[in-house]
Structure 1
Amino acid sequence: MSDFWRLFFSIIIALPLTFLTLPAHSSPILITQITASDFLELGVDKMRRGDYQEAIENFNQAIALEKNLAVAYSDRCLAHLQLQDYHQAIADCTQAINFAPDNFEAYLNWGVAYYRQRDYSAAIVDHNRAVTLKPSDFRAYYNRGLARAGDGKDSEAILDFNLALTQIPRISSLLLADIYNDRGLAHFALQDIQAAMLDFNLAIRLNANDYRAYFNRACACGRYGDDFGAVRDFSQVIRLNPSNAQAYVNRGVAQYRLGYHLGAMSGDKLLRIYADLQKASEYYGQQGKKVAYEKTLDLLKNLRQQISSVTEVALF
């Protein structure tokens, strides 16, 4: 699940820059003093460009000029979130709320910071406050749904995702896809595979390039015993995200089960499965995922023995 849009949308636009103008006649040019609002807008522009450290410097300048400027703390929180400095992000949101207790954006960002730290209970508290302040804003419901799902409260998460769907602008197809995908995961956690499958289908229909929805639908297919569907969707994941090691492992497992169900596990099919597992081990090694890497090596070892056995039988 990507939450950058939630963070980006919560940037508060500052006042326009004061432009310098030339007088009509030759007289001294007046240099307008740079204000906190000017630095604030510069920081917002840097955020949009992805220059988060530069944005922080601009927000620092705004705060130096106006220490109780709540929006500067709230926006600086966003930059710290992007840099994964969650401790500082929480500190900034705390300051923003101290100066503006009804700052919706600060509560929203505060909740995201706690969510990123996996402190789901604290995130839920902040999003509760955000919902109270702006009950018509889908972001508060969606974020609270994510926190509730993280906390294992999947039934409550589904209720929040439903509320988010009633509030979100219908033109936001990519955002809708995210919500359906996350609601599908909550249904999946509750063992309601049919409802999960419907949500993953909707997510894919709205965003055909989201590899996560294909991955989740592949897992649902596997739970249903539809190994053909699982292989199909894991193949889509690999096409969209070629370094996804889990997709290679799971496609190999699905092909292995499929071969045995059909009673046709040939040497060629075992070699294709072996290629998937080998690719997975390479990516796990590159990504530093030691446990997954070692488990995949064990699978490869067992599969090599089976390939040898099938080859020996074929030779005779």
Structure 2
Amino acid sequence: MSRFYRFILNFGIAVVLVCLFLTSPAYSLAASDAKIPEGDLFKLGIEKMRHGSYPEAIQDFTEVIKLKKDFAVAYSNRCLAYLQLEDYQNAIADCNQTLKLTPNNVEAHLNRGLAYYRQGDYQAAIADNNQVIALKPNDFRAYYNRGIVRGMLGNHQQAISDYNLALTNIPQSSSLLEADVYNDRGLAHFELSDLKTAMIDFSEAIQLNPNDYRAYYNRGCACGRSGDNSCAVRDFTESLKLNSTNAQAYLNRGIAYHQLGHEPAAIADLQKAVEYFAQQRETTLYDKAFLLLKNLQQQLSSLSEIALIPRDAKTKEYGVSS
């Protein structure tokens, strides 16, 4: 499983918390004045980036760099393409080159910080975000990204402080990004066992972005941890309406149904969880879901056998006549 997901499993309910990292958005692509000979080729690379043709965009930016080795924005945009392809070593190399040519390049620090994060080099990621904050103190992305990294390091109170700063500086028109910050701040409160505040944050995220399955899912986890399994079932159901292949939601809703005594529904959900975990090659979670399903089916089988024993079976066993 990718390190971008956090798993918390306890006896009462299996909680899978999804935490997404904010990448540099598409509008961070640096433009060219097109007055240089390689301008058209550069523009072509930008257009391919916008259409998701990342390998082709890399080829175009590489040709631009061959023609003009000190063209910083070509390195910067090629870095973004490498990030999209999860080629973090090359992304970092291009960001390094960008920063050699333009030392105070905020986007290069943001993108290199993201690459370091995804490699698991959290201290280097924090250092890049610190540099962004020093250069541009009102850039909410650096606070948000640093908060994510601090959360991964277990520094949840510091993460909350960074999320607060991100919310203070975020543009008013960015409701979807604001929802992401509330969702991740809710995760930090959850980690600190402040379930009430976590649910408030998840609810705020849902209000800002009703189509984000993660916020419903995470609030369902908080409900389950609080012992409110009806609330958990409701939120997992809403999450599955938005993402019908979320195996973790089936697993956790199945456990919630079991806690409520709705065994057929629990078995159906655990079967779905097993199916999707198998498809997604999530071996560890597949094994957990399969074991839960097997145990629950065995319990129901035993109850059925007991229920089928006739009332006079004991007297017949001992041969006592009426």
What is the TM-score with the length of structure 2 in the denominator? 0.86
What is the letter of the counterpart of residue 113 of structure 1? Answer: A
Partner in structure 2 of residue 168 of structure 1: 170
Alignment pair present for 1:14 and 2:32: yes
Q: Deviations over 1:216-235 (max 9, x none)?
A: 10111111111111011111
Q: For the residues of structure 1 that align with 2:168 and 2:288, how far apart are their CA atoms?
A: 44
Stretch moving more, 213-222 or 301-310 = 301-310
Partner in structure 1 of residue 98 of structure 2: 96
Alignment pair present for 1:310 and 2:294: no
Residues 86-235 of structure 1: pairs in structure 2 closer than 5 A? 86-235=88-237
Among candidates 69, 83, 91, match of residue 71 of structure 2: 69
Partner in structure 2 of residue 30 of structure 1: none
Aligned-pair CA distance for 1:147:
1.4
8 A contact 1:271–1:307 mirrored in 2: no
Q: For the residues of structure 2 that align with 1:151 and 1:14, how far apart are their CA atoms?
A: 39
8 A contact 1:187–1:196 mirrored in 2: yes
Q: For the residues of structure 1 that align with 2:181 and 2:27, how far apart are their CA atoms?
A: 16
Aligned-pair CA distance for 1:313:
4.1
CA RMSD of the aligned region, Å?
Answer: 1.6
Q: For the residues of structure 2 that align with 1:79 and 1:3, how far apart are their CA atoms?
A: 17
Residues 242-261 of structure 1: pairs in structure 2 closer than 5 A? 242-259=244-261
Among candidates 266, 273, 294, match of residue 287 of structure 2: 294
Q: Deviations over 1:166-185 (max 9, x none)?
A: 11111111111001001111
Among candidates 46, 51, 54, match of residue 52 of structure 1: 54
Q: Deviations over 1:282-310 (max 9, x none)?
A: 11111111222122221122111121133
Question: In structure 2, do the counterparts of structure 1 residues 9 and 115 end up closer, same or farther at CA, with 3 Å as the change threshold?
Answer: farther
Aligned-pair CA distance for 1:2:
4.7
8 A contact 1:39–1:58 mirrored in 2: yes
Question: In structure 2, do the counterparts of structure 1 residues 132 and 166 end up closer, same or farther at CA, with 3 Å as the change threshold?
Answer: same
Question: In structure 2, do the counterparts of structure 1 residues 68 and 58 end up closer, same or farther at CA, with 3 Å as the change threshold?
Answer: same
Aligned-pair CA distance for 1:106:
0.5
| Relative contact order, higher structure (CA 8 A, sep 6+) | 2
Among candidates 31, 34, 37, match of residue 39 of structure 2: 37
Partner in structure 2 of residue 280 of structure 1: 273
8 A contact 1:181–1:199 mirrored in 2: yes
8 A contact 2:24–2:107 mirrored in 1: no
What is the TM-score with the length of structure 1 in the denominator? 0.88
| Stretches of structure 2 lacking an aligned partner (at least 5 in a row) | 1-18, 311-322
8 A contact 2:31–2:73 mirrored in 1: no
Q: For the residues of structure 2 that align with 1:37 and 1:163, how far apart are their CA atoms?
A: 38
Q: For the residues of structure 2 that align with 1:115 and 1:204, how far apart are their CA atoms?
A: 27
Stretch moving more, 302-311 or 171-180 = 302-311
Identity %: 56
| Stretches of structure 1 lacking an aligned partner (at least 5 in a row) | 19-33, 260-268
Partner in structure 1 of residue 317 of structure 2: none
Q: For the residues of structure 2 that align with 1:131 and 1:253, how far apart are their CA atoms?
A: 43
Aligned-pair CA distance for 1:39:
2.4
What is the letter of the counterpart of residue 9 of structure 1? Answer: Y
The alignment partner of 2:289 has SS state of helix
What is the letter of the counterpart of residue 12 of structure 1? Answer: A
The alignment partner of 2:177 has SS state of helix
8 A contact 2:143–2:162 mirrored in 1: yes
